[in-house]
Amino acid sequence: MTVAIIGAGSVGSALGRRLIASGISVVYGVRDPQASRARDVPDGARVAASADAAAAGDVVLLAVPSAAAVGAARSAGDLRGKVVIDCTNPLRFDRGPIWSAPPEGSNAQALAAALPGVIVIKGFNHFGAEIHGDPRMAGGPADALFAGDDPSGKRVAMELAAKIGFRPIDAGPLRNAALLENLAVLWIQLATGGMGREFAFRLAGRS
Ligand SMILES: NC(=O)c1ccc[n+]([C@@H]2O[C@H](COP(=O)([O-])OP(=O)(O)OC[C@H]3O[C@@H](n4cnc5c(N)ncnc54)[C@H](OP(=O)(O)O)[C@@H]3O)[C@@H](O)[C@H]2O)c1
């Protein structure tokens, strides 16, 4: 499997490192392949223009600033039929993080509306990049919740999460992306309120 990661910042580079360490090949889609090569791109990853990377990816991870999400996905070429995992969080800050969703209801729903035929799955958004890099950092596999309307696309995302060390959880349809974006708000609130960044949410229960 090849995973295309659009955006080689904190989340993209940490996830890429984890994927490569788990034996999955990674190609980064960036705006300026030469500049990105010199920065955070992990060893073993390829770097390409976004459209070339997305074409090579079986799965596309979108890890760009929230406001750039729709534009970055559009510049990644024809994504119809591809599973696109949206890691972005629409936030503003005023004495803490505030969810700032687009009119579609969440960033993931805005992507789905802008890109008909693309299988948008929300996920990998509700913990910090340290956990993307090491899902067991918080004492056991971090839970990774995924929301999406396409069952097979969601299965692909969940299998990918399991392969790299998360416990994947089905969080229901894409309209629940709003819940996952708000889970990120809570994570940031707790992280900046004294918990630090080395924690993740885990559901308690017998199974
Ligand atoms: N940081 C976290 O702990 C964390 C955790 C969970 C979710 N998130 C979410 O994940 C997303 C990424 O966060 P981050 O912290 O990784 O951001 P970041 O460090 O600022 O990196 C963003 C990356 O996106 C690239 N980019 C911007 N516009 C682009 C475009 N149009 N096409 C392709 N690449 C583009 C930037 O590349 P250039 O060098 O070209 O500008 C940069 O490499 C955000 O939406 C954030 O809310 C972040």
Closest ligand 1 atom to 64 CA: 24
pLDDT value at residue 32: 86
Q: What is the pLDDT of residues 69-96, one digit of tens each?
A: 999 999 999 999 999 999 999 999 999 9
Q: Whose CA is nearest to atom 30 of ligand 1?
A: 72
pLDDT value at residue 50: 96
Q: Whose CA is nearest to atom 20 of ligand 1?
A: 9
Closest ligand 1 atom to 14 CA: 16
pLDDT value at residue 176: 98
**DSSP letter string, the chain:** -EEEEE--SHHHHHHHHHHHHTT-EEEEEES-HHHHHTTTPPTT-EEEEHHHHHHH-SEEEE-S-GGGHHHHHHTT---TT-EEEE----EEESSSEEE---TTSSHHHHHHHHSTT-EEEE-S-SS-HHHHH-TTTTSSPPEEEEEES-HHHHHHHHHHHHHTT-EEEE--SGGGHHHHHHHHHHHHHHIIIII-SS------S--
pLDDT value at residue 196: 97
State in Å: Cα 115 to ligand 1 middle. Answer: 20
pLDDT value at residue 37: 56
Residues of the chain with confidence (pLDDT) below 70: 36-39, 207
Ligand 1: residues with CB < 6 A are: 6-12, 30-32, 50, 63-66, 68, 71-72, 87-89, 125, 128-129, 184
